Structure 1
């Protein structure tokens, strides 16, 4: 179980003495095997009262890694760090609200609040948890922003005429995920009811069924570095499309696609390349729109793999070397022909475990290939490919 910070802990960690203790203990291993020696070392530095708070803070700062910009100086709770938006995602969402008066009504330790404060005309953060609010005050200060902070229940409005941003808690006291919107804290329907008529943005899981939020006029699915991170629900005054996929990466590049774009694409035989669209595009139901943008077509109308003779710039695509009806025997023979020893297996539409299949195939050659397994119509089909990173172009995508 993670450590339960107190207000006294936070005050100590923010003090000069606390900063010195954190610095003195920063070189500890903080592993399972070093736990006893780490605790003993921390107690020698700071005494028993604050040793656990110091060790937990150092551990959480390491976990924050590249997720939170400047996180090596932040204060976290374990649950708050788990739910915090990556800084790149929070910064992107904040840009959509730039120049507005914004109130983050579930600000927690400030991962979204810091970025909102950088772009908003005026910014307020509130939370019902006094410990997290104290951590947010520290995190905002070390990040160079100073939004107004107030302790308040998200369901008891304390501002008017602001854009409301909410990130309901989606884990229970034991750390297990809550999947039903009525079990979120605060519940999704309660947020919509309390802020009816206000401009509202709610961050939620990318797997959430949009039908449970009829007030939302736009659902945006966001990925970062190839991993789908979260969804944002926007009320009518903020929506610019019904469905949007936004793809971010750590280098600062970003592009979006919406359902306002054309989706008139055909279904045909495989071209020179196979393209596996980013997960945000797939989750947002914009595979055909993405295909139309890049001159691709579908292999099967129910499968997300796309194909074409020129892949989109900047993506990792799969140059087709050969293809045919899938069977393990036929695939094993194809791998021998290509002298394959290193094998990546991608699967859509077939009940195949890639890891188990790789173990059975036992490739032993000198070359590396990617095998795309999918269903075309009713036929299981295998494509033996060479994965290549297509050079990016500055104007490749229109956001």
Structure 2
């Protein structure tokens, strides 16, 4: 069970004694093998607050890959899991720069701290007093000071500010698609309560856009190749119908919308295969991406693209040979080419890559990527060399 922080815990953790305790426990390995000994040490050094201190140290370590400069933040396990990654939060904040903004589900402040850095005025609110106390501390650590109040997201306490919401998911286990009622507060209730206001709602990527008819723009956002969220923008904020935004931890980013041309052909394979970023695929902008980069489709229902020059900055697949897919023929090709290490990518065929790899029994000194897909009704195998294209 996750540790349940209290206001007394927050008060202690932000005190001088708490800072010393956190520094002492941060030196502990906190591994499975050392856990019992580490707990004994923490209890001896810290006293009754040892559990809050150890949980904070562990959560700060987990947050390092998600939140920038969160080594001094206070977090809960659930809040960290739902928090926007820092580059994603910063992207959203840039879109709202100069506006008055109210984060109505501010939690521990991951989005709030970013919004407060770009907004003209910024308010954060939540119902959980512990998370609000953490948000005050975290925003202070980030060098911003938004107004933070306790309020229900379904009870407006501001008038003209842009409403930003990140509703909690009721149950994410095994779920790939979402409905408005799967969120707390429910999306339709949020939209009704704040009707007439500019509103931005962060959602799970699997939400059907038809479930939020008030949204005029649906933005899919990926970070370092992983789709992180779907963001819904109301009419006063929308600049496109569908948008894909691709972010990288190093700072590079690009975006594409349905305002661009999608005039591309379906034709024979070129020298390269390109698998568009997941945000592009989920946003339904594969053809727009192809048109931007001079690519074309192998099949109008398959997301793999092809061309003679791949886009800059992507991992693309130089085609060595291709043909109708059969396991026997693919095994022969790999043997002939001396390929012992093989990456298998599948789209449009009912093939499990791990099971297939074991049956292929590749052996040899070379390596390759195998792309299995279909062109029309023909199952097709591409043997490729994956290359990172300079960007």
Q: Does 1:24 align with 2:53?
A: no
Alignment of structure 1 residues 260-279 onto 2, 5 Å: 260-279=259-278
Of residues 294-303 and 65-74 in structure 1, the stretch that sits farther from structure 2 once superposed is 65-74
Q: Does 1:364 align with 2:363?
A: yes
Structure 2 contact 179–208 (Cα < 8 Å) conserved? no
Distance 2:71 2:372 in 1: 43
Give the drift of 1:149: 0.5
> SS of the residue aligned with 2:168?
coil
User: What secondary structure, in the 3-state scheme, does the structure 2 residue paired with 1:318 have?
Assistant: strand
Q: Residues 286-325 of structure 1: matches in 2 within 5 Å?
A: 286-325=285-324
CA offset at residue 336 of structure 1?
1.1
Cα deviation per residue 1:169-193 (whole Å; 9 max; x = unaligned)?
A: 1145x98979432131111111000
Give the conservation status (yes or no) of the 8 Å contact 1:170–1:179.
Answer: no
* Residue aligning to 1:396: none
Cα deviations across residues 338-387 of structure 1 (Å, max 9, x unaligned)?
11011111100001111111111111111110000001111110000000
Distance in 2, matches of 1:305 and 1:25, equals: 49
CA contact (8 A) 2:340 2:366 kept: yes
183-192 or 303-312, which deviates more: 183-192
Question: Is the contact made by 2:83 and 2:110 (CA closer than 8 Å) also made in structure 1?
Answer: yes
Q: 1:161-310, aligned counterparts within 5 Å? A: 161-171=160-170, 179-310=178-309
Consecutive aligned runs of 4 or more in structure 1 exceeding 6 Å deviation = 174-178
CA contact (8 A) 1:222 1:247 kept: yes
> Counterpart in 1 of 2:15?
15
The whole-number CA distance in structure 1 between the counterparts of 2:34 and 2:155 is 45
TM-score (norm. length: structure 1): 0.96
Matched with 2:40 is 40
Q: Compared with structure 1, are the counterparts of its residues 278 and 33 closer, same or farther at alpha carbon in structure 2 (3 Å cutoff)?
A: same
For the 8 Å contact 1:99–1:119, the answer to whether it is kept is yes
Asked whether the 8 Å contact 1:224–1:249 carries over to 2, the reply is: yes
Q: Is the 8 A contact 2:321 2:384 kept in 1?
A: yes
Aligned to 1:144: 143
**Is the 2:241–2:258 contact (alpha carbons within 8 Å) kept by the matching residues of 1?**
yes
Shift in Å at residue 32 of structure 1? 2.6
User: What's the offset of the Cα at 1:35?
Assistant: 2.2
- Asked if 1 retains the 8 angstrom alpha-carbon contact of 2:68 and 2:86, the reply is yes
**Unaligned 5+ runs, structure 2:** none
Counterpart position of 2:80 = 81
CA distance in structure 2 between the partners assigned to 1:71 and 1:368 by the alignment: 40
Taking the aligned partners of 1:65 and 1:180, their CA distance within structure 2 comes to 31
The answer to whether the Cα contact below 8 Å between 1:79 and 1:175 also exists between their aligned partners in 2 is no
- Write out per-residue CA displacement over residues 105-137 of structure 1, whole angstroms, 9 at most, x where no aligned residue: 000000000100110011110110000000000
Q: Does 1:116 align with 2:115?
A: yes
The TM-score normalised by the length of structure 2 is: 0.98
| Alpha-carbon distance in 1 for matches of 2:236, 2:348 | 38
**Alignment RMSD (CA, Å):** 1.3
Q: Secondary structure at the match of 2:117?
A: helix
Deviations along 1:187-229, whole A, 9 cap, x unmatched? Answer: 1111000000000000000110000100000000000000000
Unaligned runs of 5+ in 1: 393-399
Aligned residues: 390
Q: Is the 8 A contact 1:320 1:384 kept in 2?
A: yes
